[in-house]
Structure formats: structure tokens, C-alpha cells
Amino acid sequence: MPELPEVETIKNELLPHVVGQCITGVTLFWDGIVRQPSVEEFCSRLIGQRIVGLSRRGKYLIFNLTSSKALIMHLKMTGSLLLASAEPEKFVRAIIHLDNETGLYFRDPRKLGRMWLAEEASSIMGKLGPEPLEADFTPEILAQRLHGRSAPIKAVLCDQSFVAGIGNMYADEALFATKIHPLRSGKSLSRDEVEHLHSAIQRVLWAAIGNKGASVDTYFRPGGELGTAHFQFQVAHRLSGKLCPVCGTPIERIPIRHRGSYFCPKCQPSQACDII
């Protein structure tokens, strides 16, 4: 699934191409991609609207329109947004046509992505946690939010109501960087561990943004290029048995709340009293 660095990269690379452009048409190849309002209303209300801004919140993209409404997109597991003008290939589920003779092609092999047209973006996104790269996300805030959390720290970091935008890949990388076992309970982390985790989260995310996101599966940048962040991964998506780049111990993969989690059993030792 595209996580914060991938969605931030898409936002940054789309900005100069879409802001100021007028939506001249909507082509849907799969009606299920539209969640609100009806398909007919969605298409008719978008046509003629100018895109006046583009922002990201968590893993959501928000296109602000002249009507004060917001076109909201979530790429889910396999979605990409491509700037193109050619014939769409088979996995393109929708095209938002722009007056610069290009279109936003919503490519989604597994048909999990979604679009909404809403008065208030917050009504769609729900109660997202703080943005991990914003100034108000401090070590103190992280410590407060971890207080009393008995769930595994890996699951906590992937909870979008706890912190917005972190998913499987970057949670694995941040935990490896801080030598924290993914099954440790959130409340078990010491003050020093919380501070190190806070620093690692920001460092891992900024590095991935600098590398334009991770193309480990179906993620493409708007121009069709791949991201390169995955080449810097230490444990995430490394096949079980691959060696830890720090100590040479085979990487292990375990399920945590239905997610595969990668870690080094030597660098991230388990502490029996803290394991859920």
C-alpha cells in the first residue's frame, strides 16, 4: 500500500501539473471507485471545476476545487495516479480529464482505490492521528499517545488514528532502527526508546520521500517512474532468510494483526515480559 512517502511524492509531483487546471470530463471504467455521491452526481459536479489546491492528509490526497468542495482519493493497496494523454491500459479505473490536454489516470489493479466528492474532507477521512512530520508531533506527544497502549508497537504505529500515514513498510524500518521488537507493547517502551523511535520515524519517512517512495509492488510516480526508497530498506520486504545488514542474522517474518512484519531477532531482541 502506498504510505506517507509515496502519497507525499505523488502530491509533490502532481502539484505543478494540476493546480490551476479545469476538470473538463470524467471517464469511469469501474463505477465502484466512486463512493460519494452517486456516480452521476460525482461526474456532473466535477466537470467545470478548477483545481485550486492539492494537499495530503495521512494516506489521502485532497484536491480543493473552486466550489469549495474537495475531491478526495485513497489509493489503498495497489493504486497509482498517472499523468497521461494516451489510451488507458487495462488497470486504469478512472480518468479525470484536465484542460491542459492531459488527464489523471487512476490505475488500480485490485480495484480497492476510492474517490469521494465532499463538502468537508474531514467527514471522509475520519479521526486521523497527528502527522508524523509536523512540528507538533513531538517525542512528548508520542509518549503521551503510547501511554497505556497494550497492543504490539507495530500494530500501534500502523493504526491511522494513532499517527497518520505510517504503514507496514515504514513501521518495520523505524522499529529496526531503534532495535525494538515489533511485538513489544506500546506502553513498555522507555522514555529513551520513545525518543529514539520518534527520531527514527521522521528520519525513515524523510529519507523515503527523498527517494520518491518505494516501488516494491505496484507503486508508480505520476510520470510512470519508479521510486527507489526500497533499495534503502534494512528489513522491510526482505525475504525471510535474507541476512540482517547490521549483524548478519537471518531476517524473520511474523504475522501481527494480519500484517507481515519483518525484523532481525538479534538486533531487535524479544523481552518476554513485554511480548503480547
Query: What residue type is 96 in one-letter code?
Result: I
pLDDT tens sequence across 175-216? 999 999 999 999 999 999 999 999 999 999 999 999 999 998
Determine how many CB atoms are found less than 10 A away from the CB of residue 118: 17
The residues spanned by each domain of the chain are 4-125, 139-263
Q: Which of 5, 8, 11, 59 is catalytic?
A: 59
| pTM for the structure as a whole | 0.95
Q: Report residue 40's pLDDT band, with 50, 70 and 90 as the boundaries.
A: very high
What CATH code would you report for 4-125? 3.20.190.10
Q: Report residue 275's pLDDT band, with 50, 70 and 90 as the boundaries.
A: low
For position 216, what pLDDT does the model report?
86
Is the domain spanning 139-263 CATH 3.30.420.40? The answer is: no
pLDDT tens sequence across 73-90? 999 999 999 999 888 888
Averaged confidence pLDDT in the chain: 95
SS3 234: coil
Is 3 labeled as catalytic in the residue annotation?
yes
Q: Which of 176, 159, 175, 177 is nearest to 167 (CA)?
A: 159
Cell of 137: 508531533
Q: Report residue 273's pLDDT band, with 50, 70 and 90 as the boundaries.
A: very low
Q: Which of 50, 259, 265, 266 is catalytic?
A: 259
At residue 22, what are phi and psi to the nearest 5 degrees?
Answer: -100, 140
Is 259 labeled as catalytic in the residue annotation?
yes
